[in-house]
Structure 1
Amino acid sequence: MVSKRISPSEGGKRKFLAIIDDTPECLRAAEYAAWRAKTTGGAAVFLYVVHSSEFQGQWFGVEEIMRAEATEEASTRLGRIADNLREKVGVEPETLVREGDIVAEIGKVIEEDQEIAILVLASGEGKDGPGPLVSAAVGKGAAFPIPVTIIPFSLDEDEIASLC
């Protein structure tokens, strides 16, 4: 059970959490979150989760180098996306890099920040389906304790802006 959200009427700021990874569709989620934050007086939070399983089984020194490189790549990608949307939309997104299982880390971030009220995901366009996070969000387990907005990959920048 997630802790109670702090609403704008209680002095909070509604935050839209977008998940960033190396897929092209994550840009749609980030853009939607930024526009929704701007139009509602809220905030955008961009989260990149580095999968810790990538490092297991390596020698300690190699594991630490791989972890540092993955974290640096995540920070760089988050920075580029944040810079782009800061210029385009005019919002200052919060950026977070976490390490671990992506579903678990999303849950932890939601629990830690009681202003996060909406999780924004984007569906993939390939034949592999909508993607694992979207599947988790709509699956039987309903992995996330807050409302989830799913952005179709087919929406372009203008269509996303017009929806917000």
Structure 2
Amino acid sequence: MYLEGHKRKFLVVVDETPECESALAFAASRAQRTRGQLALLYVIEPEDEAMHWLGVEDIAREEGQSKAKAVFRLFGRKLKAMGFEELVPEEIVREGNKADEIPKLIEEDQDIGVLVLGASKDPSGPGPLVSSLAGGRLAGVFPTPITVVPGHLSIEEILALA
């Protein structure tokens, strides 16, 4: 990521949780301020084992791809609304378990320098992804720094901090 022609990427795992917008705001602001790149990852998680017959798996995969495109469009609009009109994120779709696919992607793409996650403000915990990656067994051996954006912060506060 430090060689000429490369940009440090801020990776955000996007889905339909409210905390994703917090992670998006922080990562977009850091990418813009440091002349980096924003990368959005959508992971199509596998359905149960019964779906491997009669083409159901193919249909589920197509639906997952369609959903990924819709989520990318949504977050593209959110970026523009936050004032990041010129920031064009890289859109990445993977299939598998999120906790497995994120480190695999980071190992494959040496330009990814930071994983940005949004923490839930739910009193039951920060969310499964934050718990498994930032606070779990992988925290000490994760291939990049992980930034966790607190869920109680407003977008304006996040942009000011970034």
Normalising by structure 2, we get a TM-score of 0.89
Identity across the alignment (%): 43
Amino acid at match of 1:130: P
Amino acid at match of 2:49: Q
Amino acid at match of 1:138: G
| 1:14/1:117 contact within 8 Å kept | yes
Off by >6 Å, runs of 4+ in structure 1: none
User: Residue 64 of structure 2 is aligned with which of 67, 70, 73?
Assistant: 70
| Aligned pairs, number | 156
Report the Cα offset of residue 55 of structure 1. Answer: 4.9
Tell me what 1:32 maps to. 26
CA distance in 2, matches of 1:125, 1:79: 25
Q: What are the Cα deviations for residues 68-106 of structure 1, in whole angstroms up to 9, with x where unaligned? A: 112211221112202331452131111111110111111
SS for the counterpart of 2:7 is coil
5+ residue gaps, structure 1, are 1-5
* Alignment pair present for 1:18 and 2:12: yes
SS for the counterpart of 2:147 is strand
Which has the larger displacement, 84-93 or 144-153?
84-93
SS for the counterpart of 1:104 is helix
| 2:9/2:36 contact within 8 Å kept | yes
5+ residue gaps, structure 2, are none
Report the Cα offset of residue 161 of structure 1. Answer: 1.1
Which has the larger displacement, 80-89 or 106-115?
80-89
Amino acid at match of 1:112: E
Which has the larger displacement, 23-32 or 140-149?
140-149
Amino acid at match of 1:56: E
User: Residue 156 of structure 2 is aligned with which of 148, 155, 158?
Assistant: 158
